[in-house]
């Protein structure tokens, strides 16, 4: 195990199995609907790349980048850094996220897509940390629910590091308290 990791939550083989299960569910639910999968940059990229190998119906791909800034109140505001290219009007949208934490980022992105006339908006996330939720948010497709710990790897970063690990691990507290 890497020295900066407290515990491995999902090894690579387990991540592939999770993506297979989610891909099969999505294939069943979206047959004939040609959804747009919108990856939220940057953390969703490795997950999206593995997930789509297991989706056996037609899909389109697009990307957005949003960043949430939490103010003194728990409402928070979200800044759009990159917008998607495709129009979502009358389209089924599946947002692809690495982890749902407070839910603030996704809530704002969902509001924007709803205003633009999306037919349906659902979420597929590799990880869910419901203990830390600030807004109501129920992802339809969840890879694994995890405890309220800071995790890294497979897209997830700490100060832009560790996104390239092929597993999900809990970062040792000593790494961010030093």
Residue 65 lies near ligand IMP (rule: CB under 6 A): no
d(CA 149, CA 6): 10
Supply 78's token pair: 């979200």
Which of 9-17, 85-93, 97-105, 113-121 is the region at the interface with ligand IMP (rule: CB under 6 A)?
97-105
d(CA 167, CA 152): 8
**Size (the chain), residues:** 178
142: alpha, beta or left? (left if phi > 0; alpha if psi -120 to 50): beta
Using the rule CB under 6 A, which residue among 9, 18, 51, 100 binds ligand IMP? 100
Cα–chain center distance at 80: 16
Residue identified by tokens 């839910």 is 103
Catalytic residues: 101
Shortest distance, position 9 Cβ to ligand IMP, whole Å: 10
In angstroms, give the least distance from the CB of 90 to ligand IMP.
Answer: 27
Q: Is 124 in the site for ligand IMP (CB under 6 A)?
A: no
Residue of 18, 99, 121, 126 that binds ligand IMP (CB under 6 A): 99
- Residue 170: strand, helix, or coil: strand
Rounded to the nearest 5°, which phi and psi values hold at 49?
-60, -40
Among 151, 154, 167, 168, binds ligand IMP (CB under 6 A): 151
125 binds ligand IMP (CB under 6 A): no
User: Would you state the structure tokens that stand for residue 73, as one six-digit string?
Assistant: 């109140």
4 binds ligand IMP (CB under 6 A): no
Binding pattern for the stretch 28-47 against ligand IMP, x by CB under 6 A and - elsewhere: ---------------x----
- Residues lying near ligand IMP in the complex (CB under 6 A) are found at 43, 68, 97-105, 150-151, 156
């Amino acid at each position: 195990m890497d020295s900066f990791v407290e515990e491995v939550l999902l090894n690579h083989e387990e991540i592939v199995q999770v993506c297979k299960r989610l891909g099969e569910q999505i294939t069943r639910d979206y047959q004939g609907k040609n959804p747009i999968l919108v990856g939220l940059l940057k953390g969703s990229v490795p997950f999206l790349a593995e997930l789509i190998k297991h989706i056996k119906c037609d899909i389109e791909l697009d990307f957005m980048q949003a960043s949430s800034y939490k103010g003194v109140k728990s409402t928070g505001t979200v800044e759009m850094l990159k917008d998607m290219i495709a129009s979502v009007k009358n389209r089924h949208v599946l947002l692809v996220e690495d982890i749902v934490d407070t839910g603030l980022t996704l809530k704002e992105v969902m509001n924007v897509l709803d205003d633009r006339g999306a037919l349906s908006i659902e979420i597929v996330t590799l990880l869910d940390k419901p203990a830390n939720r600030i807004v109501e948010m129920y992802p339809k497709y969840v890879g694994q629910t995890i405890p309220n710990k800071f995790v890294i790897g497979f897209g997830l970063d700490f100060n832009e590091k560790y996104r390239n690990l092929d597993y999900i691990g809990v970062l040792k507290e000593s790494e961010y308290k030093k």
